[in-house]
Amino acid sequence: MKNKLKFVVGSIVIVLAVILLAVQGLQEDSSISYSKSVSEVLILGDRAKSLTLKVNGELKKGSIKRNNMDLDFVITEGKSELNVHYIGRDPIPDTFNNDMDAEVIVSGRLADNGIFKAERIQAKCASKYEADYSSSEI
């Protein structure tokens, strides 16, 4: 019985350690982000500036402006618009370009000037029949 007790105590220590890591991870800004749509971000206003956000919207056709390595574009939802400036390092996705209807998710933060500084861009294209990546990694 003593041995069982030792094992139980050891287990509890391990479980507590993992819970601690999980909770601690949630406190870190870089590891959590709030998913919002463009209009939700605009409604949040100043509060949005304190959060790491994942904003989804439609890429406004023709809004992509490249200047050397800078990239600016606009995402929309209905009549709401959000200006995005890309500051990330990863290459932008292939489905992201001026000619295509693309649904976009940008991850980053809203700056004081109201421009969204995106560190990551995910794009999915609205293809003719079906845009299906699902089978690629099930």
Partner 1 sequence: MADLGNILLFFLFPISVFTALSALAAGMTKRRGLLEAARRGAYAAFGVTTLAILALEYLLITSDFSIEYVASNTNLALPMFYKIVALWAGHNGSLLLWTWIITIFIAIVAFQNRHKNSDMMPYVLFTMAITMIFFSVLSIFISNPFDTLYQEFGNKLQEFTVPDGHGLNPLLQHPAMIIHPPILFIGYVGAVVPFAFAIAALITGKLGTGWIRTTRRWALTTWGFLGVGIVLGGKWAYVELGWGGYWSWDPVENASLLPWLTATAYLHSVMIQERKGMLKIWNMTLVISTYLLSIFGTFLTRSGIVSSVHAFSNSGLGPAFAVFLTLSTILSVALLLYRRKDLQPDEELQSLVSRESGFLFNNLLFLLATIAVLWGTLFPVISEIFTGDQITVGPPWFNNIMIPIGLALLLLTGVGPLLAWRYTSVETLKRSFGWPILGSIVLVAILIGAGIYDGWALGSFAISFFVIWTIIVEFINGSRVRSKNSGEGFLKALYMLSRKNTRRYGGYIIHAGIVIMFVGFTGNAFNSETRAEVGEGDIFELGPYTFKAQRIIHTETENYAAETLDLEIIKNSKTIAIIHPEKRYYFASEQPSTEVDIYSTLRSDIYAVLSGMSNDGERVIVQVYRNPFVNMVWIGSIILIFGTLFAMLPNLRGQKSKNSIPVNSTKGAIA
CA distance 46 to 37: 16
Under DSSP, is residue 90 helix (H, G, I), strand (E, B) or coil?
A: coil
CA distance 131 to 124: 8
Q: Which stretch binds partner 1 (CB under 8 A): 13-21, 76-84, 108-116?
A: 13-21
Q: Is 26 in the site for partner 1 (CB under 8 A)?
A: yes
DSSP code at position 89: -
CA distance 110 to 69: 20
Q: Which stretch binds partner 1 (CB under 8 A): 74-82, 99-107, 109-117?
A: 99-107
* Least distance from partner 1 to the Cβ atom of residue 38, Å: 15
Q: Which of 46, 79, 94, 113 binds partner 1 (CB under 8 A)?
A: 94
Contact track, partner 1, 33-72, x by CB under 8 A = xxxx-----------------x-----------x-xx---
Q: Which of 95, 104, 108, 110 binds partner 1 (CB under 8 A)?
A: 95
CA distance 54 to 105: 6
CA distance 83 to 110: 10
Which residue in the block uniquely carries the two structure tokens 């700056």?
111
Summarize as ranges the residues that interact with partner 1 (CB under 8 A).
3-4, 6-7, 10-11, 14-15, 17-18, 21-22, 24-26, 28, 30-36, 54, 66, 68-69, 89-92, 94-95, 97, 99-100, 105, 122, 124-125, 127-138
